[in-house]
């Protein structure tokens, strides 16, 4: 067991100190588990969650086509044309980014909406740093609302066998979708206060032309397909049905565009720009988590965690949510959630309670905690990268002015609503 602790320690420390190299540390951790005999070599293919991998690849492809079509930019232009002031335009953009990110990867959402925010700032000659930060944190918040909104949601859905519909209505009660949306509604008032001084009018002279409406239809088909599939059990492929839906629709979209353009450039571009680091990190983490489970460490952590709450459910829930917020502010929430899901299940088993409250608390805390720091979530990193290319430096204090009040309100509302519904 000592060797496992050493492997885990080095892996997470490396991810924290060298965030740009986290995939290598995850894969190195997986290799360590195999070489130490903790995870048998012949079991590797079985411990990897291929449904999650296929969902990610398929969603990435569809989002790639969706961005290229120009539809997100057109929708943003329409929103801007209806906004009477810069303040309300920024809030509308942030809300739109949040809405999109409930169904599309958070980083992709920032890449869609941030350029529009930059254009507004340039026309009005205002500092774009707080605007892009607002778009980024809003994107990160609502990723937890649906099964396909964020990698952490995909992990939870796969681990608990939750369908797309289950994120909206679960076991006869309003599910995490409504909890997240109520938190998002509260954050709009935070943004209204922060940008209250920007009362200038916004002028939108032209609207983006959409080159292809098929990617929009494909995205809608994915959402509809996931909802419909959740009502059926499919022999032999049930454990992979969500991944297959995303992957098949993605392949169809890429082939359709290649045939229409008589070129495979879209396929080549997709293959070359696939987020291999995210996929590689997940592959490594699945193996590492299997090692944690095999050695009984997960159960041991669960017992310690349960002890922190002195077997008081409210105390335990509070510790889980707010410790997840703090931890996710400094470490990537994907490995954290992947590691904690079996821990939460074991805690619930030890206390003989229904685990939904703790599952949703974990997802809320881990997702929203990333908004406390510039490097706590991939969406924030993407937004800051865009600003860096424009010549702007984002200081910690700049981010904190928006991230801290935004996170406080969203976490507090989510914490309270989740407790009322599920305790």
Instruction: For residue range 162-204, list pLDDT tens digits in order.
Output: 888 889 999 889 999 999 999 989 999 999 999 888 877 776 6
- What average pLDDT score do residues 221-242 get? 75
pLDDT at residue 84 in the model: 84
Q: What is the pLDDT of residues 59-100, one digit of tens each?
A: 778 877 887 888 777 777 777 777 788 888 889 889 988 888
CA angle 353, 145, 398 (to 5 degrees): 110
Question: Is 416 a residue whose pLDDT tops 90?
Answer: yes
pLDDT at residue 54 in the model: 84
pLDDT at residue 134 in the model: 93
Q: Output the CA torsion 195→199→200→201 (10° steps).
A: 100
Mean pLDDT of the chain: 82
Report residue 250: phi and psi, to 5°: -60, -50
- Domain hosting 141: range is 2-422
Question: Is 320 a residue whose pLDDT tops 60?
Answer: yes
pLDDT at residue 421 in the model: 93
C-alpha span between 145 and 142 (Å, rounded): 5
Q: Which residues pair with residue 169 across a beta bridge? A: 174
pLDDT at residue 411 in the model: 92
Higher pLDDT, 254 or 291: 254
DSSP letters for 387-422: HHHTT----HHHHHHHHHHHHHHHHHHHHHHHHHHH
For 231, 237, 248, the CA distances from 240, given in Å and listed in that order, are 14, 5, 12
pLDDT at residue 294 in the model: 76
pLDDT at residue 113 in the model: 80
Residue 14 has which token pair?
Answer: 């490396």
Is residue 22 within 8 Å of 15, Cβ to Cβ? Answer: yes
C-alpha span between 137 and 315 (Å, rounded): 28
Alpha helices for 230-275 (secondary structure H): 241-261, 265-273
- What average pLDDT score do residues 397-402 get? 86
Closest-CA residue to 146 (of 112, 184, 191, 114)? 184
Neighbours of 239 (CB within 10 A): 13
Closest-CA residue to 294 (of 28, 14, 33)? 33
Q: What share of the chain is helix, strand, coil (3-state, %, to 5)?
A: 75, 0, 25
Residue 202 has which token pair?
Answer: 């916004």
Q: How many domains does the chain have?
A: 1
pLDDT at residue 161 in the model: 83
C-alpha span between 312 and 305 (Å, rounded): 12
C-alpha span between 130 and 195 (Å, rounded): 9
Question: Among 191-205, 236-250, 300-314, which stretch is predicted with the lowest mean pLDDT?
Answer: 300-314
Is residue 147 within 8 Å of 242, Cβ to Cβ? Answer: yes
- What average pLDDT score do residues 299-327 get? 77
Question: Is 21 a residue whose pLDDT tops 60?
Answer: yes
Neighbours of 295 (CB within 10 A): 18
Is residue 76 within 8 Å of 116, Cβ to Cβ? Answer: yes
Question: Among 89-93, 216-220, 278-282, which stretch is predicted with the lowest mean pLDDT?
Answer: 278-282
Place 20 in a pLDDT band, splitting at 50, 70 and 90: low
3-state secondary structure 149-176: CCHHHHHHHHHHCCCCHHHCEECCEECH
Residue 71 has which token pair?
Answer: 């539809």
């Amino acid at each position: 067991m000592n060797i496992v602790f050493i492997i885990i320690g080095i892996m997470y420390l490396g991810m924290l100190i060298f965030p740009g190299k986290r995939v290598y540390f995850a894969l190195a951790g997986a290799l360590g588990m195999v070489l130490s005999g903790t995870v048998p070599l012949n079991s590797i293919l079985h411990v990897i969650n291929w449904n999650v991998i296929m969902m990610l690849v398929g969603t990435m492809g569809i989002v790639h086509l969706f961005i290229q079509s120009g539809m997100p930019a057109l929708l943003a232009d329409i929103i801007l044309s209806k906004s009477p002031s810069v303040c309300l335009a920024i809030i509308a953009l942030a809300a739109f980014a949040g809405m999109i990110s409930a169904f599309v990867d958070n980083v992709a959402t920032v890449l869609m909406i941030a350029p529009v925010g930059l254009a507004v700032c340039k026309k009005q000659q205002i500092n774009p740093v707080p605007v892009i930060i607002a778009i980024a944190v809003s994107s990160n918040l609502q990723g937890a609302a649906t099964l396909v909104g964020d990698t952490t949601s995909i992990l939870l859905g796969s681990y608990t066998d939750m369908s797309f519909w289950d994120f909206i209505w679960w076991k006869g009660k309003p599910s995490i979708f409504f909890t997240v949306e109520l938190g998002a509604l509260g954050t709009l008032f935070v943004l209204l206060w922060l940008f209250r001084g920007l009362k200038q009018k916004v002028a939108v002279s032209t609207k983006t032309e959409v080159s292809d409406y098929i990617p929009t239809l494909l995205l809608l088909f994915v959402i509809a397909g996931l909802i419909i599939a959740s009502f059926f059990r499919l022999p032999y492929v049930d454990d992979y049905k969500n991944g297959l839906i995303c992957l098949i629709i993605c392949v169809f979209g890429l082939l359709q565009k290649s045939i229409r353009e008589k070129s495979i450039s879209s396929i080549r571009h997709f293959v070359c720009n696939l987020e291999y680091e995210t996929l590689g990190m997940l592959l490594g983490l699945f193996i590492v988590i299997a090692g944690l489970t095999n050695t009984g460490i997960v159960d041991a952590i669960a017992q310690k965690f349960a002890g922190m709450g002195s077997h008081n459910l409210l105390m335990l829930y509070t510790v889980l949510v707010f410790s997840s917020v703090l931890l996710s502010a400094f470490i990537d929430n994907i490995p954290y959630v992947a590691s904690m899901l079996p821990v939460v299940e074991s805690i619930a088993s030890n206390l003989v309670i229904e685990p939904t409250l703790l599952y949703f608390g974990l997802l809320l805390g881990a997702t929203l905690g990333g908004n406390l720091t510039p490097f706590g979530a991939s969406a924030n990193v993407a937004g800051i990268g865009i600003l860096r290319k424009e010549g702007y430096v984002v200081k910690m204090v700049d981010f904190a002015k928006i991230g801290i009040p935004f996170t406080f309100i969203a976490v507090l509302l989510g914490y309270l609503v989740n407790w009322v519904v599920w305790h």
